Structure 1
Amino acid sequence: MNIAWKEMKKNKAKFTILGSIIFLVSFLTFIISGLSNGLSQDNAALIKDLPDGQFYMNADANETYNLSRIDVDAQTDILNKQKDAMAFSIQMGFVNDTEEKQHSVAFVTSTDSKLFESVGKGEVILDRSMEDDGIKVGDILTNNQFNGEFKVTGFVDQQKYSHAPVAFINMEDYKEIYRTHEMQLIFIPGTEKVQDVAGLQSFSNKEFLNTIPSYNAEQMSLNMIVWFLVVISGMLFAIFFYMMNVQKIGLYGILKALGVKTSRLFGMMWYQMIVITVIALVLSVALSQGFATIAPEGMPFSLTLGTTIQLSIIFLIIGFIGATLSGLQIKKVEPLQAIQQGEV
């Protein structure tokens, strides 16, 4: 490894350029991943925060929860058999504050459950982001489709749906607004085995998230960019070390003639790859975590420690693969032929 380190000090410019590129690519990857996670929470925190379980909607709804209607008798039967189950509905709407200013919300109502907020008639519990709009506990809100008024009784953290703050309301108030007596969905938490229910289609948490059009399209696009950047980093390693190896054919021939094993030559290359990648990752992780503190207010950005570690490991693996593929030519180096070519 001493030879590898001396080579890095001798060719500082080359290795600094590679490290800078890896730093920029990894930093951009962390930023986009943070935006992806942030948008995911902003789009579907209401669903993502639920425990693992099974969602059920009408089989004729074509996997569109807005079109789903759960038969009242079927709902009653399931809730009686599954004590932790709940029926709930989500509908996009709006509320007017005391100044008649409209605020978009996602109205949510459910049967009695510890998973969602319990709300009395004429009351509403809002996502805390509504406080930024000047709404306070005790304020009176109205809705054009509702004859009564909503009194704000509290706020909850990180309850968003389709990028709108959630508004938990009583089921009777919900039925009056949307002129319906049927719920859209049933959720059974902690079910290990999917239960077949006549006329209903079941979804896991992940499958249900993918039925939300905006969520699926948004996450697919951002994740594609993240993986594209990861692949680019692997290609950069492969190209860089390939060019370096071509220049060092003569040196490898001399080292092999002196009895240095091919595995040791690979080890030198891997050592250089690890040093460059680790330094680049440390800088990019530090800056990306710092970005979370200076990100503009309202920007959905969430880069968790788990995601950071996962991406860092992926970068190391990709770098290892790229460097190894570029070094396959080392195995083919014949000492005498390489020495005759001359050391560059």
Structure 2
Amino acid sequence: MFLALRELSFARGRFALMGSVVALIGVLMVLLSGLSVGLVNDGVSGLQKLPVSSFAFERDVDTSAAFTRSVVDVDTAQTWAAADGVAEAGPFGLTLVNTRTDGGLDLDLALFGVERDSWLAPQVATGTALADEGQIVLPGTLRDEGVAVGDVVTIDQVGTELEVVGFIDGQHTFGHVNVGYVDLRTWQEVRAGVRPGENVPEHAYQEVSAIAVLAADGASPDLAAVDAEAGTTSLTLTQSFGASPGFTAETSTLQLIQVFLYAISALVVGAFFTVVTIQRKHEIAVLRAMGASTRYLLRDSLTQSAILLVVSTAIGVGIGLLLGASISGTDMPFALEGLADRGRERPARRARHGRRRVGRHPHHPRRPPDRTRRQPMTAHPVTTTTGLVMVGVTLTHGDGDSVVTALDDVSLTVEPGELLAVVGPSGAGKSSLLAVAGGLTRPDSGQVRVGAADLVAASRRQLAAIRRTEIGFVFQSGNLVPALTAVDQLRLPLQFGKVADPRDPMELLEGGRHGGARQAPPAPALRR
């Protein structure tokens, strides 16, 4: 995090721009999620709050409009009630009507017809429960719109009058209209189009929309088998949501938008960090030359990305929640409650994933730690006693007809403390010689040793440790990390090798300026 935090501060304008894009995406995701939850609540909250596990409809009915097209005989409920794994089964009616209160308020209602005092009867929060025909129980949202207990609701076309006797808590809707609970016989008369005072056909009291089924605790009834016996087609409660007008189209559209938004977000963020990495190509090369491992660079980039994404997402979600709270009280179908419930479920899932990540299969014993791999790369520094030795070094560039021999059987010895300058015209191989001598480039053939270290046989990691501890480079260009101060430039290589060096860079600088007693040990210096 040493370099990641400093780069975030150094290039704050660039990262702020990317952060604002991520925050905007977070705002859009919160608003889309809230809209999705709101549409679900506005479309099927009445069904969601029923104590039902499934519905049995007319055989082979169109499931996209099952509640309004299905006609099932009331006696079918007995067949379902006797089935294994079924705790309750009862007739259920649903129809959409237009109504008007005696106060002049127009209401579109989805009438739910249930038997009084049955397990399907609504739990009233205000007023009284259904006790007779000609009564209706409405959701509390209509009470907020001015409907009161004692009001009379008249159904258009048939003129049936229903007295409001109670209210249930919260939102209860179907197909974006409010639900009204009525006695089953009242519902059957309304569905048959019977006006007050007219004779009711006998078959009207034998027909309902579906049979509501409640599975016993821990049981899973064989719906297909009971359907074959009862002559019905069953849908689980969740599947029955698709019978609400427009539910499937609305939710599918919003889910598709969310998928595209996630994909676009990933592409935008990925493109940003790709461009940043390309821009840092030279800087990364310098870090690798100083001994930074791939793991260090990857961890640094991931930490930087994680900080940016977490902070920006948190800001975006916060702004989205504030915007959502401001519109949740309007007519727009938007709900934050569902988002909060989902948020409470996530920690448990993360915890389970976490346990799986650290757990081990019982048939795979734990591998003993590799002590050698954990040793610092500078645990055994090279003791420079013989300086630099190059024997028969050859280095070529290119291949085929374009091969250029930069070094041709070069042998060279530089004793400790000796100062050597390599001079020559451009293209003579000076830079190639210094690159091979400093362990930046491997020769095609020959031997290169710095003290006791064989630079030809050394691995990349060993070469990085040697360059970091035994060789000093002064390049023509600065090759500095832009995000770091001069002192941090000196501290950075110590981190790569995990060097617990008691010498502070400031102390070394002061010592060199004033001729302090503590001086760095001599090392070959290569100037390019």
* Normalised TM-score (structure 1): 0.85
Displacement after TM superposition at 1:121 (Å): 1.0
Residue number among 287, 301, 325 corresponding to 1:269 in the alignment: 301
Q: How does 1:90-109 map to 2 (within 5 A)?
A: 90-109=94-113
What is aligned with 1:8? 8
The Cα offsets for residues 63-89 of structure 1, whole Å up to 9 and x where unpaired, read as: 131211112332232235544223212
Q: What is the deviation of 1:289?
A: 2.2
Residues 16-35 of structure 1: per-residue CA shift (max 9 Å, x gap): 00000000011111011101
| SS of structure 2 residue aligned to 1:125 | strand
What does residue range 1-344 of structure 1 map to in structure 2 within 5 Å?
Answer: 1-50=1-50, 53-63=53-63, 64-65=65-66, 66-81=68-83, 82-111=86-115, 113-117=118-122, 119=130, 120-146=132-158, 148-156=160-168, 157-179=170-192, 180-181=204-205, 182-190=207-215, 191-195=219-223, 196=225, 197-198=227-228, 199-295=231-327, 296-303=329-336, 304-308=339-343
Task: Look up the match of 1:322.
Answer: none
Q: In the alignment, residue 103 of structure 1 is paired with which amino acid?
A: L
CA distance in 2, matches of 1:89, 1:106: 10
Once residues 299 and 333 of structure 2 are traced to their aligned partners in structure 1, the CA distance between those partners, rounded to angstroms, is 42
* 1:288 aligned partner, one-letter code: G
**Aligned to 1:61, what secondary structure does the other structure show?**
coil
Per-residue Cα deviation, 1:95-147 (whole angstroms, up to 9, x for no partner): 22114543111111123533442623111001122224421111122224556
* SS of residue in 2 equivalent to 1:60: coil
Q: What is the alpha-carbon distance in structure 1 between the residues aligned to residue 346 and residue 103 of structure 2?
A: 47
| Alpha-carbon spacing, 1:276–1:52, altered in 2? closer, same or farther (3 Å) | farther
8 Å Cα contact 1:122/1:150 also seen in 2: yes
- What is the distance in 1 between the residues matched to 2:188 and 2:314? 54
Q: Do the aligned residues in 1 keep the contact of 2:98 with 2:106 (CA within 8 Å)?
A: yes
Higher alpha-carbon deviation: 166-175 or 111-120: 111-120
Distance in 1 (alpha carbons) for counterparts of 2:232 and 2:96? 23
For 2:143 and 2:285, the matched residues in 1 are separated by 70
CA shift in 2, pair 1:101/1:30, >3 Å: closer
- Structure possessing the higher radius of gyration over alpha carbons: 2
Take 1:225 and 1:242, find their aligned partners in 2: how far apart are those partners?
Answer: 25
Kept in 2: contact 1:146–1:173 (CA 8 A):
no
| CA distance 1:98–1:270, shift in 2 (3 Å) | same
Shift of 1:159: 0.8
Report the secondary structure of 1:85's partner residue: strand
Shift of the 243–2 alpha-carbon distance from structure 1 to 2, 3 Å rule, reads same
In structure 2, relative to structure 1, the CA distance for the partners of 1:213 and 1:17 (3 Å cut) is same
Counterpart of 2:270, as a letter, is A
CA–CA distance in 2 between the matches of 1:146 and 1:241? 66
Structure 2 CA distance for partners of 1:73 and 1:247, relative to 1, 3 Å: same
- In structure 1, C-alpha distance between the alignment counterparts of 2:92 and 2:477, rounded to whole Å: 76
Higher RCO (CA < 8 A, seq sep 6+)? 1
Q: Deviation of residue 340 (structure 1)?
A: 12
Contact kept, 8 Å, 2:15 with 2:308, in 1: the verdict is yes
Question: SS at 1:299's partner residue?
Answer: coil
For the Cα contact (< 8 Å) 2:149–2:164, is it kept in 1? Answer: yes
Match of 1:21, as an amino acid? V
Greater shift, 185-194 or 207-216, is seen at 185-194
- Share of identical aligned residues, percent? 24
Instruction: Give per-residue Cα distances to partners, 1:228-260, cap 9 Å, x unaligned.
Output: 111111111110111011111122222222222
Is this contact kept in 1: 2:59–2:233, CA < 8 A? yes
Q: Which amino acid in structure 2 is aligned with residue 300 of structure 1?
A: P
- Structure 1 unaligned segments of length 5 or more: list them: 315-334
The answer (yes or no) to whether the contact 2:23–2:317 under 8 Å persists in 1 is: no
Q: Residue 108 of structure 1 aligns to a residue in which SS?
A: strand
CA positional deviation for 1:210: 2.3
How far is the alpha carbon of 1:284 from its aligned partner? 1.9
Aligned to 1:297, the other structure's residue is in SS state: coil
The separation in 2 between residues aligned to 1:308 and 1:340, in whole angstroms, is 55
In structure 2, the CA distance between the partners of 1:52 and 1:235, relative to structure 1 (3 Å rule), is farther
Assess if the C-alpha contact under 8 Å between 2:134 and 2:163 holds in 1.
Answer: yes
Distance 2:288 2:137 in 1: 73
Residue equivalent to 2:493: none
How far apart are 1:170 and its partner, in Å?
Answer: 0.7
> How many angstroms apart in 2 are the aligned matches of 1:121 and 1:151?
9
The letter for the 2-side match of 1:173 is T
Q: Deviation at 1:52?
A: 6.5
* Offset of residue 148 of structure 1: 4.8
Moved more, 67-76 or 263-272: 67-76
In 1, Cα distance between equivalents of 2:279 and 2:346: 32
